[in-house]
Every structure is written in structure tokens, then in C-alpha cells.
Structure 1
Amino acid sequence: MNALGRHILVEFYDCSPELMNDVVHIENSMVAAAETAGATVINSTFHHFSPYGVSGVVVIQESHLAIHTWPEYGYAAVDLFTCGDSVDPWVSYKYLKEAFEAGHGSSMECRRGQLDLLKRNDFNIENMRDVSPKPPEVAGAITRDVWFTERDENIALSLKHSGRQLYKKDSPYQRVEIYETLAYGNMLTLDGMVMCTQKDEYVYHEMITHVPMFSHTKAKRALVIGGGDGGTVRELLRHEQLEEVTLVEIDELVIEACKLHLPETAVAFDNPRLNLLVEDGIKYINECEDGRYDLIIVDSADPVGPGEGLFTAEFYSQVYRCLTPDGVMITQSESPRFNSAVFVEIYDTYKQIFGEEKVHCYLAAIPTYPTGTWSFSYSSKGNSHPLQYDREAAAGFARSQGLKYYNENIHTAAFALPNFVKELLNSKSTNVTDEYSAEPTN
């Protein structure tokens, strides 16, 4: 070969959209394509972008293979670059065309570094050698960096995972997936959005349950709408005063996935005090008898997909009807900074149904949720107030149960709201602004 390298620019068309959005399949295929061609793989780094799209590169001793996909078009743009004669990039091309189920492909080969245009320079390699000590390399070892990314228009969260997808199924409602992340353990995602992880799920589940249970000590019957991961009912069932806990989850695959791969979260599904129903929570509430429950927790996903109907005035009015005269409704109420408009709108709705003085907002720090700050609402049908509770009982409970986040001080502090949250709660949903002025006022 009269050049330093061969560079094939590839376009694959009519690929499987599912495969073009599967970062694990793409990373495995790219690594295998390199190895099949006889390349020595050093490193792979791949990112999945929510809701769709994958970018990645496989670094080989002989150069690299790179890709970006557009699942919505069934299209992949691929670079295959090899140095020397030992690796044939066309072998990789044929492998990937089949792996991606491409209808057809187009390609163009360039010879990089034409030798008749180059002049070899003599230099002292000793002056360029890195003499710093390095750990011994393991023969055949590949460094693999595979990333899941939940991406919104203006913000993103990326988590590195093992490259093994533990669970992936499509239900009639959503795609249910579990990844093995390096920093946060196993992670449940629904339609590409992070729901919970092993390392921080306790924050959400302890705060959505123990705050109302210590403020409403007479609660005997509790209902959870959503919460198929099992964490909310796990925490509720720590309270012996509860005689009945009903969980209504629309998607049985969420329950299945968490039983298999988040067993610490799903540990309470076999508790005899739990009444588990796989059905539509909206339908259940609409058919529920008046005054049935002391506590109703709406443990919903974001207001999209199957969770969209759980953010309406009609639904909250039905929840109000199903509460006892002293009953309490708890909801996850989004991030006040990330979803400001939704945050304000739903609090306006709560106040219209429960009354201005009966609705309270509290916050918790959840690292894997957008902005890291998440809100919960406490809405009382009667006179229950979230800051009127037995601090000693809460402290003893937190110690005896080995809770990781909730305690009596956190309970109180969660209701100490930042000024920007207070301003949002005092605004109207039609007049929400994200503008911020750093100018001091005197």
C-alpha cells in the first residue's frame, strides 16, 4: 500500500430503528467488527442520547471506528480508519451492514497519507518517550466506556454503565429498561427517563412516605398510584399502624423488571399486608368509594405517556373524593427549576381543590433527577399539618429502621423553601418566568 492508512466513509440506510437506538448492540457490534477485521481493540466509548441517537468510537491499535446514528431515519454514519496493511476495513463494513440490518449502504474509500507526498523525518524517539511508570497492561484487556444519557433540550444527565443491559422490554405503555451503572448501581428507566437507581432511590421513597406517616399518625389505609418499582410500599409497610396498603400499577413489566434487578426496592411485593393490583390507576380512582383511604400517594412518572393523566384537575378531584375527612394526598411534584411551568400549574390545581392553606411543598436532594432538587406536595383534606408531628417518634423510627435519608431534622428542613420556590408558588401558571437578576436591590 502506497499510503499510511485507509479511510472508508460509510452511510448505512434503512437500518432497524430499534437497533440504531440500542447503544449496547451498537457498541458490541462495533467492537466485534474491529476484531473480525483483525484489529487490536484498545478502548470503546459510546453514548446513548435520550430519547434517541447513539454516538461512539472504538479506538484500535491501527486507528479507529466511529459512528453516529439517527434512529428516526434508520440511518448510520460510520468512519472506518485503519493504518497499515494488517487490517482490512471492508471486513468491518460487511460485518456492520449485517449487524445493523441495513437495507443498503454507500461508501467511499480514501487513502490517507500518500507516501509519495510525504517526507520521513529523523528524530530522537528517546526525547518523546513517556518514562513515567505505568501499571502493567493486561493482555487482551479492553477499556469500555458506554454511557446512558437522558437529554432534554437544554440539560442532560450521563451515567456510565457496564455495557450490559440487564432488562429491556416494550409494554403497551412504555419501554422498560434496566442498566448496570458504575456510579449508582442498577438503574430503572422508562422511555429513556431515569426513574430510580440502587444508590439514591431511598431519598425519594423515604420522603414521599415518612413525612405524611408522621404527620398523619391515624392513617390506617393507604393507596399508592404508580410506584411499580416497589420502593414506596416498602417504606409504607415499615409502619405497623397501617392495616392495609394498596398499590395500583398500570405496567406489570415495571414490577417484573424491579423484582429481577432491583430486589432491595421491590422487597415488599410479597408482604401479606400489600394488595397489589395491575390496572389503570385513573380508572381505579374513578371507581373508588368515597372516603376510602386515609393516605393516597401519587407516585407517578413525569406528565408524559401513561403518567400524563395523573396530572389533571379531574384526577386530583377524584383523589380528594376518595380521601377520608382527615385524609392526605402526597404527590411527586416535579423539579421547581427544571419544570417550573408544570410545577406552578399543578400547585395551583392542588390549591383550588384542597384550599390555599392546606397545600404544602417540600424538597429533597436526588442526584439522578434533573437539577438534583425534587419537590413533593402535601395536601390535607382536614387539619393535618406536615410540621405538626412527634419529633422524638420520628427520630426513633429513623434509627430503628436504619433509614438512609429521612430523620426528624430532614422532615422539618424539607419545608424550608428557597426564595425562588416561594416566588413560584406565589405566582400564577400563566406568569412563570425563568429570568434571574443578579442586580442587588437597596
Structure 2
Amino acid sequence: MASLGRHIIVEYYNCSPELLNDVVHIEKSMENAAEEAGATIINSTFHHFSPYGVSGVVVIQESHLAIHTWPEYGYASVDLFTCGDTVNPWVSYQMLKDSFQAGHGSAVELKRGEMALLKRKNFDVKAMRDEKSSEDGDPIRTRDVWFTERDDKIALSLKHDGKLYDVQSDYQRVEVYNTQAYGNMLTLDGMVMTTEKDEYVYHEMITHVPLLTHPDPKRVLIIGGGDGGTAREVLKHENLEEVVMVEIDDKVIEASKMHLPTIAQSLDHPKLNLIIDDGIKYVNDAADGSFDLVIVDSTDPVGPAEGLFTVDFYKEVHRILSADGLMITQSESPRFNSKVFKEIYQTYRGIFGQDNVHCYLAHIPTYPTGMWSFSYSSKGSANPMNLKPTEEVDAFVKANKLRYYNADLHKAAFALPNFVKEMIG
């Protein structure tokens, strides 16, 4: 043996972008490449970054295989490092080339630890390793696969056991991950939309705040909300005569019914009129004063939701509200998306009036910064502090087993930190 290790520096070009953005495929490919080369896997750790790119490493008893991908360029950079002569890294090279559907690849092999330059040193193994790690036996194999939503300055990472759903719809990439900490998680174009473990915070706050302060709501319109959580909470109010939900992407509904059944449980409710269509078009075509409450349950202002963040759209919502009608929207994070947050409230107040627009907050762990905001815009006399009698609210909370919302929290949600007050004026 002329050297301690073999190090192959690899570049793959013209690969399948979809495969290079699929963290589970890459993990399996890297592990298969290690095993076929004769290596013993100890640990694998992989991260998928939003909106694209995967980094990962397979630690083997004989060293490691590491990768980073640029799906937008169809390019992957790989290091194959093996110790001794029992593992052939060129087997891994060819398997990965095939697995990523690379148009071509290039590689340079380096010999690491030239034996002619090394002198063996004696040392006491027991003095350098603890008792447990010095025991005889095979290494324990572990696995870490991560989804990471990030921008230039902040990131959220969740460990998961793989994808349950992955479809490119006509509008966006719809995925469901089986996360270890938050259950099944829905993402759209790489952004976290909802998870089984913390969804109730968002859905209870976007619905019960308006419905328990409107004087007599009968007809509710939900724009978006394809996971079904907002509809589920709205339909707990038995006094409503009709709930209309307009979701543009049927794949969001399909994914939610399949993998988020506790959230999507009311999408077949007889009182729900579920329409697959463009919410902007529906609002534009709706009659004046036809809804008591409009909930805009949208994604961030990108992709198919971009049109929901315009003055023209909000003016149309104002038009279709009844005399005491309310518009509720998710209004981004004051910390994470400050520019949009401030612009939203300027826009609403220009339409509904300075004193008729209110901000309230909730804490959602899987949303950027954890602090999330909602807007409460009143066309008439409805006011967020005119909550129904406490005993009535308490009875509703108890009967429906709400996990976040209650009368005290309702009032506290409108008590804004000073920095938020300053942002919206």
C-alpha cells in the first residue's frame, strides 16, 4: 500500500435538476455508491435547502463520501475519500454518474498520506479512547436527513424521514415531508406552509378572532387555505349558513387529504362549497356585500399568491363585504419580512380607514422567526375588542377542544410590542 487513502475529486455536469434537488434520492444514491464500493456506512447526514440545493456526507468506516448540488446548473461536486485498499471509489463514481443522469463527469484522483513520507508512532490506545468506544464490535449506523428553508440571513432546519408527496403542479412544487419533530409537513416551492404539530396556532387565530367578534356572521369566504385547516376551524361555528373556499391548486388539496388528514378533515363537509379556481377571479365576480367575512389564507407574496397582495384585490374584497364585514389576512412576520409587513398595513388603512385596521400576533415555531402576524380589517362597526361574552367564548373553546385560542389570548394578541407599533404607525 503506497498511501493511506485515495481521494477522488469529482464534478458531474448536465445532471437532472430534479434529481439533484431530491434529498432522499441523493441520500440513497450516495449510500448505495458507498456500499457497492465495499464501504461500511456509519452515519449519513443530508440537508435540502430551499428553494434548491442539497449538501450531505456519508461517513464510512473507511472515511467519507461528500456532496453538494446546484440543481439550477445541473451540477454536482463530490468528494470520494477512502482509506486503505478495500474500497474502490471508482465504483462509487460510476454509480453516482448514472444515478444523477449526468451528461458527463470529470475526476482527479489524489493519493493521500504517502507512506514514504510517514513514520509510524506508538501510543496508548486506551489513553486516547474511552472504554465504550474501544470495545470490540461493529459501529452503529445512524441517519440524518434534513429539510432547510433559508434565505441569505436566516434558516430553519427540520430532520425528516423522507418525502411522502412530491408533485410539480401547474402553479408550484407541492411536497409533504415526514418530519421527526413536527409530523407531516406541507411545503410549497420549498417554503413551509403547515405541520401537523403546530398548525392549530395559525388556523385557530385566523378564524376564531373574527368569528367571535363579528356581530352576526352568516357567509364566509376563504381564499386559499388548501390544506383545509382554516375551513375546519370556520366550520366549528354552527351559526354559519355557508362557507365558500376557493383554492387555485388542486394538488395542495390532494396532498393534504392524503397526508394531513387531521388538517384536511372538513374539506368534504356538506356546508363547505369548495371551488378549484383563481381566488382573485372569484372575488372580482362576486356580488357587492355578499360575504360577512373574507379570510385570505395565502402563501407569501410570490408565485400564485402574488396577486393577493395588491391594492386592486383588497379593494374588491372591501366591495364584496357586507356592511359589518371583516377581512382577515395573514400579514407576514414583522421580523422576517418587514417591508411587506409595513406595506400591507398602509394598503389596508388606505382602503378600510386608519382606525379600522388592527394587527395581532401569534407564535408559530415553524414560520420564519416564530413571530407571525394577522390583520383584522373592519368595513363597519365590528371591533376586535368587542369579543362575545367570556362565558360564551369559554364554552366554545371547551366544546371544540381548542389548543391555542382563548378569550385572554384573544385580547393579548392585539397588545403589540413597541417595535411593531412603530412599524405600522
TM-score, structure 1 length as denominator?
0.94
Matched-pair contact (CA < 8 Å) for 2:42–2:141 = yes
- Counterparts of 1:297 and 1:74, CA distance in 2: 40
Shift of 1:394: 1.3
- Counterparts of 1:103 and 1:371, CA distance in 2: 41
Which residue of 1 is the match for residue 207 of structure 2?
209
Shift of 1:129: 2.7
SS at match of 1:215: coil
Task: Write the letter of the residue equivalent to 2:102.
Answer: A
Matched-pair contact (CA < 8 Å) for 2:206–2:230 = yes
Which residue of 2 is the match for residue 431 of structure 1?
none
Which residue of 1 is the match for residue 393 of structure 2?
394
1:184 maps to which of 171, 174, 182: 182
- Counterparts of 1:132 and 1:13, CA distance in 2: 44
Shift of 1:55: 0.7
Return 389-398 or 182-191, whichever deviates more: 389-398
**Matched length:** 424
Which residue of 2 is the match for residue 9 of structure 1?
9
Which residue of 1 is the match for residue 118 of structure 2?
118
Shift of 1:352: 0.8
Shift of 1:291: 0.7
Which residue of 2 is the match for residue 282 of structure 1?
280
Task: Write the letter of the residue equivalent to 1:104.
Answer: H
1:263 maps to which of 261, 264, 269: 261
- Counterparts of 1:281 and 1:136, CA distance in 2: 64
Matched-pair contact (CA < 8 Å) for 1:225–1:248 = yes
Write out the 4+ residue segments of structure 1 that deviate beyond 2 Å after TM superposition: 132-137, 139-142
Shift of 1:24: 1.1
Shift of 1:116: 1.2
SS at match of 2:267: helix
- Counterparts of 2:362 and 2:139, CA distance in 1: 45
Which residue of 2 is the match for residue 77 of structure 1?
77
Which residue of 2 is the match for residue 30 of structure 1?
30
The percent of aligned pairs where both chains have the same amino acid is 67
Task: Write the letter of the residue equivalent to 1:309.
Answer: G
Q: Which runs of 5+ in 2 are unaligned?
A: none
Which residue of 2 is the match for residue 404 of structure 1?
403
- Counterparts of 2:115 and 2:347, CA distance in 1: 72
1:42 aligns with 2:42: yes
* 1:20-46 per-position Cα deviation (integer Å, ceiling 9, x unaligned): 111111111001100111111110011
- Counterparts of 1:200 and 1:230, CA distance in 2: 14
- Counterparts of 2:72 and 2:312, CA distance in 1: 35
Shift of 1:133: 8.2
- Counterparts of 1:336 and 1:120, CA distance in 2: 60
* 1:377-418 per-position Cα deviation (integer Å, ceiling 9, x unaligned): 011111000111122211111111111100011100000000
- Counterparts of 1:111 and 1:140, CA distance in 2: 26
Matched-pair contact (CA < 8 Å) for 2:215–2:382 = no
Matched-pair contact (CA < 8 Å) for 1:392–1:408 = no
Return 139-148 or 254-263, whichever deviates more: 139-148
- Counterparts of 2:378 and 2:136, CA distance in 1: 63
Shift of 1:337: 1.4
- Counterparts of 1:142 and 1:347, CA distance in 2: 52
Summarize the Cα distance change of 1:134–1:309 in structure 2 as closer, same or farther, 3 Å threshold.
Answer: farther
* 1:406-437 per-position Cα deviation (integer Å, ceiling 9, x unaligned): 001110000000000100111xxxxxxxxxxx
- Counterparts of 1:220 and 1:135, CA distance in 2: 70
* 1:266-291 per-position Cα deviation (integer Å, ceiling 9, x unaligned): 00011100000000000000000111
Task: Write the letter of the residue equivalent to 2:93.
Answer: Y
Which residue of 2 is the match for residue 336 of structure 1?
334
Alignment of 1:79-118 (within 5 A): 79-118=79-118
- Counterparts of 1:134 and 1:222, CA distance in 2: 66
Matched-pair contact (CA < 8 Å) for 1:161–1:181 = yes
SS at match of 1:6: strand
Shift of 1:142: 2.8
SS at match of 2:209: helix
Shift of 1:136: 11
Which residue of 2 is the match for residue 272 of structure 1?
270
Which residue of 2 is the match for residue 369 of structure 1?
367
Which residue of 2 is the match for residue 59 of structure 1?
59
* 1:274-316 per-position Cα deviation (integer Å, ceiling 9, x unaligned): 0000000000000001111011000000000000000101000
1:298 maps to which of 293, 296, 299: 296
Which residue of 1 is the match for residue 309 of structure 2?
311
- Counterparts of 1:305 and 1:289, CA distance in 2: 27
Shift of 1:71: 1.1
Task: Write the letter of the residue equivalent to 1:193.
Answer: M
* 1:168-190 per-position Cα deviation (integer Å, ceiling 9, x unaligned): 00011000000011111100000
Shift of 1:72: 1.4
Alignment of 1:114-153 (within 5 A): 114-132=114-132, 142-153=141-152
Shift of 1:126: 2.2
Return 139-148 or 32-41, whichever deviates more: 139-148
1:348 maps to which of 346, 349, 363: 346
Which residue of 2 is the match for residue 437 of structure 1?
none
- Counterparts of 2:316 and 2:211, CA distance in 1: 21
TM-score, structure 2 length as denominator?
0.98
Shift of 1:326: 0.8
1:321 aligns with 2:319: yes
- Counterparts of 1:140 and 1:173, CA distance in 2: 46
Which residue of 2 is the match for residue 174 of structure 1?
172
Alignment of 1:215-234 (within 5 A): 215-234=213-232
Matched-pair contact (CA < 8 Å) for 1:4–1:115 = yes
* 1:236-292 per-position Cα deviation (integer Å, ceiling 9, x unaligned): 001101110010000000000000000000000111000000000000000001111
RMSD: 1.4
Q: Which runs of 5+ in 1 are unaligned?
A: 427-442
